[in-house]
Amino acid sequence: MAVTGDETESAPTGDMSAYQICSPTSGLSQEMGSSPGSLPSPQQVSEEALRKREFRMMKNREAARECRRKKKEYVKCLENRVAVLEKQNKTLIEELKALKVLYSHKTE
DNA sequence: GCGTGGATGCGTCAAGTGAT
DNA sequence: ATCACTTGACGCATCCACGC
């Protein structure tokens, strides 16, 4: 796996269900205890920033996965198209050959 | 069995882009 | 201007085939 240092993850299949929104560090119960209306302490601000960062990273992780999936699909699609066109090309060449033979016999 | 190189997949970062 | 999303690039881990 990658260098995340997160050893809790990772079925060898790369199963994405191992990733969760709730990371071990997100102890929601702690910062929820602030009194309403008061300014957040620097500690709370940094925890909020950390949570935002983790959320961003999780979203991007999923986005990258989706991006790769789409790219693979696109490449497969192109390969299929190549196969179809090659087949079509072959058929047209054969057809041309046959027509040439036919034409040469007529002109004799 | 062991080292090695190529292929593949993953997570992360950074830059670009469109929507608000 | 800001935000969310997309994607190329990078580094890393793992797998597999190959030569020794």
For A42-90, how does the pLDDT look when each residue is reduced to its tens digit (9 = 90+)?
Answer: 777 678 888 889 999 999 999 999 999 999 999 999 989 999 999 999 9
DSSP state for residue A35 in the 8-state scheme: P
User: If we measure between CA atoms, which residue out of A16, A26, A72, A70 comes closest to residue A49?
Assistant: A26
Is the pLDDT higher at A57 or at A2? A57
Interatomic CA–C1' length for residue A20 and nucleotide B1, angstroms: 40
Cβ density class A7-39: b for 16+ within 10 Å, e for less: eeeeeeeeeeeeeeeebeebeeeebeeeeeeee
pLDDT at A39: 60
Give me the amino acid identity at A78.
L
pLDDT at A58: 94
Q: What is the band of A15 on the pLDDT scale with cuts at 50, 70, 90? A: very low
Q: Which nucleotide is nearest to A1 (CA to C1')?
A: C13
Q: How far apart are CA A24 and CA A41, in angstroms?
A: 22
3-state secondary structure of A108: coil
pLDDT at A17: 28
Return positions of chain C under 7 A from a protein CB: 5-9, 11-15
Interatomic CA–C1' length for residue A63 and nucleotide B10, angstroms: 12
Is there a contact between A10 and A18 (Cβ–Cβ < 8 Å)?
A: yes
Return positions of chain B under 7 A from a protein CB: 9-14
Q: Output the pTM of the full model.
A: 0.65
